[in-house]
C-alpha cells in the first residue's frame, strides 16, 4: 500500500506538470507563440492556479443524466491508468507486482478506460457526448487489436508474459560497433513492430491524428462535453496518465524498460515515458486529425493487416531460429555420442587385447613353474639365496646410510620376495 501510494503520487505530480504547463509550452514552441510565463518562474505556478480554478468551479449537472453512471465514468479513467502501472518495472527494484501474466494485465487495465468513456457518453443525455462515446469504443476496438497483436510478436521472442523477464531479456547485448555495445532492445530487433505499436498506442491514448472521440471541430468535446469542475480534472488527469502508461508499455516491450547507462534505472524510466509524451505532443502539433472514415480505414484495413503480417513473419523467424538451434544441438549431441562410442570401443578393444596378453603370460608362467617339481625347488632355492644376499646388502646399507625411506622400501621388497 505504501509503494502504491508513493508511485501514484509520483505519477500525479508528473501529470500535473505535463498537463497545465508542459503541454502549453510545447504547443507554443511548435506554433511560434508565447506560452505561460507570468505566474511563477517559467510559468510553473500556473499548475497551482489551474488546480484552484478548476476545483473551485461549480459542478454543473445537466438535466436528464443517468447520475450513477455519469458520476462513475470520470473515476474509471484515471483508476484504470494507475492500475496498469502496478506491473510495470520502473528500475532499482521498483515494481509493485510481478505476475506471470504481467503484460496482459497492463493491456487489460488500460482497456478498462473504454468502459468509462462509453458510460460518460451514454449517461450525459447529449447527442454529441453519445457520438463521442461511440467513437471512443470504435477507435479502441479498431486499434487495440493491432496493439495487442503487435505486442504478441514480442512475446514470441521472449516466450514469457512476465514484464520483468521481458525487460531482463533485453539487457543482453545485440551487437558491438566500434566498441559500443548495442543492447537487445526489441526496437532494434524488430523496428517494424516498434513503429506499429507506437502508432496503435497513439490511437489508444486518443492523440492526434487519432483524437476522433473528442474532436472539438465536429462534436464539441465528445464524451466530456457535459463535464466541468472536479470531474473535468479527473478526465483530464486520466488522459495524461494514460499517455504515460502507453509510454511505460512501449518502454517495457521495446526499449529495455528502465535499462540505461550511467544513470539509475528509475531516471531512465522517467526519461523514456517523457520522451513518448513529447512525441505525442509533437504529433499533435504536426499532423492534422483524420476523418472518422479514414480513421477506421487505417485501423481495420491498414494496422490490423500489418500487425498480423508482422506476427506471422515473427513466428516464422522465431521458428526458423528455434529449428536451427535444435538441429545444432542434436548435431552436437550425436557427434559427442559417436565420439564417445568410438573412444569406448577403442578402450574396450585395448583392454581386451591386454587381458588376452596377460592371460597368455600367466598361462606360460604357470606351465613353466608348475611343470616340473625340480624346477619349482630350484626356484625356491634361488629365491632363498636372493633373499639372503639382499638381506646382507640391506644390513650394509643401514650401516652406511641414514636414508630411512630407501631402507624401508628395500626391506619391504625383500620381505615380499618370498611370497612371489
Residue 139 neighbours by CB under 8 Å, 6+ apart: 203, 206, 210, 212, 213, 295, 299
Confidence band of 418 (pLDDT split at 50, 70, 90): very low
Q: What is the C-alpha to C-alpha distance for residues 101 and 360, in angstroms, rounded to an integer? A: 72
262-296 per-residue burial string, b: 16 or more CB within 10 A, e: under 16: eeebeebbbebbbebbebbbebbeeeebbebeebb
Cα separations (Å) of 178 from 175, 181, 182, 189, 351? 10, 8, 11, 19, 56
Would you kindly state where each structural domain of the chain is located, as residue ranges? 57-328, 372-417
Torsion of CA 399, 405, 407, 413, to 10 degrees: 180
Percent of the chain with pLDDT over 90: 5
Interior angle at CA 177, CA 175 and CA 181, nearest 5: 55
**Is 50 exceeded by the pLDDT of residue 406?**
no
Q: List helix spans (H) across 64-126.
A: 67-84, 102-123
Total-model pTM: 0.73
pLDDT of 190: 86
* Radius of gyration (C-alpha) of the chain in whole angstroms: 41
Length reported for the chain: 420
What is the rounded average pLDDT of the residues 395-400?
51
At 39 the pLDDT is 84
Mean pLDDT of 243-249: 90
The pLDDT value given to residue 249: 92
pLDDT bracket for residue 349 (50, 70, 90)? low
Average pLDDT over residues 38-46: 84
Q: Is the pLDDT of residue 401 over 50?
A: no
Tell me the average pLDDT across 89-116. 86
Peptide bond preceding 121: is omega within 30 degrees of 0, i.e. cis? no
Q: If you average pLDDT over residues 115-124, what whole number do you get?
A: 85
Name which of 90-104, 208-222, 389-403 the model is least confident about: 389-403
Residues 6+ apart with CB under 8 A from 59: 228, 229, 230, 231
Q: Is there a contact between 260 and 170 (Cβ–Cβ < 8 Å)? A: no
Residue 102 clears pLDDT 70, i.e. is over it: yes
Q: Percentage of the chain with pLDDT > 70? A: 79
Residue with cell 506499429: 196
Mean pLDDT score across all residues of the chain: 78
Q: What does the pLDDT average to over 179-197?
A: 85
SS3 153: helix
Residue 63 has pLDDT above 80, yes or no: yes
What average pLDDT does the segment 95-105 reach?
A: 87
Amino acid at each position: 500500500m505504501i509503494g502504491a501510494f508513493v508511485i501514484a503520487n509520483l505519477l500525479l505530480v508528473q501529470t500535473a506538470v505535463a498537463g497545465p504547463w508542459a503541454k502549453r509550452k510545447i504547443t507554443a514552441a511548435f506554433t511560434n507563440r508565447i506560452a505561460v510565463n507570468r505566474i511563477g518562474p517559467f510559468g510553473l505556478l500556473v499548475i497551482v492556479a489551474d488546480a484552484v480554478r478548476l476545483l473551485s468551479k461549480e459542478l454543473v449537472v445537466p438535466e436528464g443524466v443517468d447520475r450513477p453512471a455519469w458520476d462513475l465514468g470520470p473515476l474509471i479513467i484515471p483508476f484504470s491508468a494507475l492500475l496498469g502501472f502496478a506491473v510495470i518495472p520502473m528500475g532499482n527494484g521498483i515494481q509493485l507486482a510481478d505476475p506471470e501474466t504481467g503484460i496482459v494485465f497492463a493491456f487489460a487495465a488500460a482497456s478498462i478506460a473504454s468502459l468509462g468513456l462509453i458510460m460518460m457518453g451514454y449517461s450525459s443525455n447529449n447527442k454529441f457526448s453519445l457520438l463521442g462515446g461511440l467513437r471512443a469504443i470504435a477507435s479502441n476496438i479498431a486499434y487495440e487489436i493491432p496493439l495487442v497483436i503487435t505486442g504478441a510478436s514480442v512475446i514470441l521472442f521472449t516466450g514469457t508474459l512476465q514484464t520483468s523477464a521481458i525487460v531482463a531479456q533485453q539487457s543482453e547485448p545485440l551487437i558491438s560497433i566500434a566498441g559500443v555495445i548495442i543492447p537487445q532492445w526489441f526496437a532494434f530487433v524488430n523496428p517494424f513492430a516498434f513503429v506499429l505499436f507506437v502508432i496503435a498506442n497513439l490511437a489508444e491514448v486518443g492523440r492526434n491524428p487519432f483524437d476522433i472521440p473528442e474532436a472539438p471541430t465536429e462534436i464539441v468535446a465528445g464524451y466530456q462535453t457535459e463535464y466541468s469542475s472536479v470531474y473535468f480534472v479527473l478526465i483530464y488527469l486520466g488522459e495524461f496518465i494514460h499517455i504515460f502508461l502507453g509510454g511505460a508499455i512501449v518502454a517495457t516491450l521495446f526499449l529495455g524498460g528502465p535499462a540505461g547507462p550511467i544513470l539509475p534505472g528509475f531516471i531512465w524510466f522517467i526519461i523514456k515515458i517523457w520522451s513518448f509524451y513529447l512525441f505525442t505532443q509533437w504529433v499533435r502539433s504536426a499532423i492534422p486529425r483524420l476523418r472518422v472514415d479514414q480513421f477506421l480505414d487505417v485501423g481495420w484495413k491498414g494496422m490490423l493487416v500489418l500487425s498480423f503480417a508482422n506476427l506471422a513473419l515473427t513466428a516464422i523467424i522465431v521458428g526458423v531460429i528455434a529449428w536451427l538451434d535444435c538441429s545444432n544441438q542434436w548435431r552436437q549431441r550425436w557427434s559427442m555420442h559417436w565420439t564417445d562410442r568410438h573412444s569406448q570401443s577403442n578402450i574396450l578393444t585395448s583392454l581386451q587385447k591386454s587381458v588376452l596378453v596377460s592371460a597368455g603370460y600367466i598361462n606360460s608362467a604357470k606351465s613353466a613353474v608348475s611343470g616340473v617339481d625340480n624346477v619349482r625347488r630350484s626356484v625356491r632355492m634361488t629365491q632363498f639365496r636372493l633373499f639372503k644376499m639382499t638381506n646382507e646388502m640391506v644390513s650394509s646399507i643401514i650401516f652406511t646410510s641414514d636414508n630411512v625411506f630407501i631402507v624401508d622400501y628395500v626391506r619391504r621388497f625383500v620381505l615380499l620376495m618370498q611370497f612371489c
